[in-house]
Amino acid sequence: MFRKLIDSPWPYFVLAGVLLVAAVLSQFRPVSNEPPAGEVADLALLRERDDLNVLFIVIDTLRADRLHAYGYERETTPNLDALAARGVRFAHVESQSSWTKASMASLWTGMYPTRTGVWRFSHAMPQEAMMPAEIFQEAGFRTAGVWRNGWIANNFGFDQGFDLYIRPSKHRAVGNVQRNNPSVYRLPGTDADATESAMEFLVESGDDRFFLYVHYMDVHQYLYADSSPIWGTSFSDIYDSALHWTDRNVGLLVGALEHQGLLDDTLIVIASDHGEAFFEHGEEGHARNLYREVQEVPLIVVPPFSLSPGVVVQERVANVDIWPTILDIVGLSPIPGAEGQSLVPLVMASGAAGTPVPSEFRERALYAELDRNWGRDTDETNQIVALVKGDYRYIHHLRRPERPELYDRSVDPKEKKNVAAVEGEVGNELRALIDEFLAKPRTQWDEAPEIELDEMKKAQLRALGYVVPSERRKARQKKK
Ligand SMILES: [Zn+2]
């Protein structure tokens, strides 16, 4: 049997909060009310405020091109679209790996996987790492994280700086929730449980400044809320229905902020750790390669005022930029050693007509990494590095450097045609950048600590669809 779920440590199950959830659940309306109007230049004034909160929402496994706001024809995301319409939408964002733990370690620290050292199933965030929640906690914010993905559990060190870091209890079924991916472990509960726990935190926080992190999981789980999927029954269609359901949860949470009069006191940021493949490069799922479908994620920053029109940033940015940017906006100290940079100057330029984009944001070299052996019980690595710069994606396989992949997205946006053999000069230039990138000192800490996972934990992670060695297989290998 699966381990008993961790119960919410809050003894007070706020009745008002539950009623609020019930009231809003019955409506599922897109976000309608907005905070007062503002200008993009007002972003620079937020650091002066002593009442600003931060709500950080991560939607696991969300590829950017499935959001209607990112050009998808299906109306998968009415609530996220409404937030993007009055906020800042980054049109091109590269995640730093294609599986949760490596990607989130980079996202939180602003450092690439090579520098965090967190890229194997057994690695944990080092205690020496400075996590944003620690910075908020130090600055007097109440900090809470609500998550449903085992890769970012407390034992992997992702709880640093959180007063409260919980997997929500399964409270109740919502409508006719369906799970349609038989290959995926049936994670107990739904994202509605995370929404409800987050709402309880909001009710209970009162006037205290808070940093609230909510990590949604139902897109990863292909879970949707109606009696039948909205658009069709293929995995790809059901993924869209799951996104529509998760989008409703975002709407509920933003509705709760509104209900408490917190919309004009809260900076909302929506991000994802990686995308999802539907056989574009021969594989389904994620955590196996570094092509666009698993690498390109959304990023929406919503100020506590309404921009009209919202700002769209076209320059390519990365998840390592997220925390340098948020901490800059809020006026807190930066993360030591972060390799990403604050995007505030880029947002200002993008939001002011006729202002040129600062040169440091043009054609930046952005990286992603994956040790393809991350789930195996071996010391051998099988590392690949992707570099995106301008129109190109270059993929370097450390085990076979003589056979790189190079895609020119200006003519091949789906990255189908490897032009490494014909574009030698571009390839050499990008390869030199990768060599330089890999040669930088590894981390500020020696190594990411490794933790022992018990068989139950491994079974859960395996069941999530990941390869994690089993004792039985290890025993079999020993016999050979
Ligand atoms: Zn993930």
241 shares its domain with 154 = yes
Ligand 1 mean position, distance from CA 58 (Å): 9
The more confident residue out of 7 and 439 is 439
253 shares its domain with 151 = yes
Ligand 1 mean position, distance from CA 220 (Å): 7
* Lookup: tokens for 256: 């709760």
Question: What digits encode the pLDDT tens for the residues 456-468?
Answer: 677 767 766 666 6
Ligand 1 mean position, distance from CA 374 (Å): 14
Question: What digits encode the pLDDT tens for the residues 313-337?
Answer: 999 999 999 999 999 999 999 999 9
Neighbours of 442 (CB within 10 A): 13
Ligand 1 mean position, distance from CA 44 (Å): 32
Ligand 1 mean position, distance from CA 352 (Å): 35
Work out the average pLDDT over 80-105: 97
170 shares its domain with 242 = yes
Instruction: Give 118's pLDDT tier (boundaries 50, 70, 90).
Output: very high
We report the CATH number of the domain holding residue 440 as 3.30.1120.10
Question: What digits encode the pLDDT tens for the residues 248-267?
Answer: 999 999 999 999 999 999 99
Rounded percentage of the chain residues whose pLDDT exceeds 90: 73
Q: What local confidence, expressed as pLDDT, does residue 463 receive?
A: 64
Ligand 1 mean position, distance from CA 279 (Å): 18
Ligand 1 mean position, distance from CA 419 (Å): 30
325 shares its domain with 416 = no
Ligand 1 mean position, distance from CA 8 (Å): 23
Q: What local confidence, expressed as pLDDT, does residue 25 receive?
A: 52
274 shares its domain with 339 = yes
Ligand 1 mean position, distance from CA 275 (Å): 8
Residue 173 placed within a domain: yes
Residue 3 placed within a domain: no
Ligand 1 mean position, distance from CA 155 (Å): 17
Rounded Cα distance, 59 and 63, in Å = 10
Question: What digits encode the pLDDT tens for the residues 66-85?
Answer: 999 999 999 999 999 999 99
Work out the average pLDDT over 128-143: 97
Give the pairing of strands 88-94 and 311-318.
parallel
The more confident residue out of 20 and 112 is 112
372 shares its domain with 247 = no
Residue 16 placed within a domain: no
Q: What local confidence, expressed as pLDDT, does residue 466 receive?
A: 67
Ligand 1 mean position, distance from CA 104 (Å): 8
Ligand 1 mean position, distance from CA 287 (Å): 9
340 shares its domain with 435 = no
Residue 455 placed within a domain: no
Neighbours of 103 (CB within 10 A): 32
Residues that place a CB less than 5 A from ion ligand 1: 60, 100, 273
Ligand 1 mean position, distance from CA 274 (Å): 6
Ligand 1 mean position, distance from CA 216 (Å): 10
235 shares its domain with 314 = yes
Q: What 3 state SS string does the chain have?
A: CCCCCCCCCCCCCCHHHHHHHHHHHCCCCCCCCCCCECCHHHHHHHHHCCCCEEEEEEECCCCHHHCHHHCCCCCCCHHHHHHHHHCEEEEEEECCCCCHHHHHHHHHHCCCHHHHCCCCCCECCCCCCCCHHHHHHHCCCEEEEEECCHHHCHHHCCCCCCCEEECCCCCCCCCCCEECCCCCCCCCCCHHHHHHHHHHHHHHHCCCCEEEEEEECCCCCCEECCCCCCCCCCHHHHHHHHHHHHHHHHHHHHHHHHHCCCHHHEEEEEECCCCCEECCCCCEECCCCCCHHHHECCEEEECCCECCCCEEEEEEEEHHHHHHHHHHHHCCCCCCCCCCCCCHHHHHHHHCCCCCCCHHHCCCCEEEEEECCCCCCCCCCCEEEEEEECCEEEEEECCCCCCCEEEECCCCCCCCCCCCCCCHHHHHHHHHHHHHHHHCCCCCCCCCCECCCCHHHHHHHHHCCCCCCCHHHHHHHHHC
Number of domains in the chain: 2
pTM summary value: 0.90
287 shares its domain with 435 = no
Where a domain ends, among 353, 375, 397? 353
Ligand 1 mean position, distance from CA 61 (Å): 5
Ligand 1 mean position, distance from CA 95 (Å): 11
Question: What digits encode the pLDDT tens for the residues 162-203?
Answer: 999 999 987 655 555 666 554 556 778 899 999 999 999 999
Phi, psi angles (nearest 5°) of residue 59: -105, 105
337 shares its domain with 198 = yes
Ligand 1 mean position, distance from CA 296 (Å): 13
Ligand 1 mean position, distance from CA 346 (Å): 27
Residue 43 placed within a domain: no
We report the CATH number of the domain holding residue 292 as 3.40.720.10
Mean pLDDT taken over the chain: 88
Q: What local confidence, expressed as pLDDT, does residue 170 receive?
A: 75
Residue 45 placed within a domain: no
β-bridge mates for residue 215, sequence order:
58, 147
- The residue length of the chain stands at 480
Residue 44 placed within a domain: no
Instruction: Give 123's pLDDT tier (boundaries 50, 70, 90).
Output: very high
Ligand 1 mean position, distance from CA 99 (Å): 5
Question: What digits encode the pLDDT tens for the residues 208-250?
Answer: 999 999 999 999 989 988 878 899 989 999 999 999 999 999 9
Ligand 1 mean position, distance from CA 241 (Å): 18
324 shares its domain with 420 = no
Where a domain ends, among 353, 387, 420? 353
Ligand 1 mean position, distance from CA 42 (Å): 33
Work out the average pLDDT over 443-460: 77
Question: What digits encode the pLDDT tens for the residues 7-66?
Answer: 443 433 444 454 455 455 544 445 556 899 999 999 999 999 999 999 999 999 999 999
- Residue 126: half-sphere exposure toward Cβ, Cα within 13 Å: 18
378 shares its domain with 349 = no
Ligand 1 mean position, distance from CA 47 (Å): 31
Find the domain containing 130 and state its range.
Answer: 50-353
The more confident residue out of 282 and 376 is 282
Q: What local confidence, expressed as pLDDT, does residue 9 receive?
A: 39
Ligand 1 mean position, distance from CA 370 (Å): 13
Residue 278 placed within a domain: yes
Q: What local confidence, expressed as pLDDT, does residue 457 receive?
A: 73
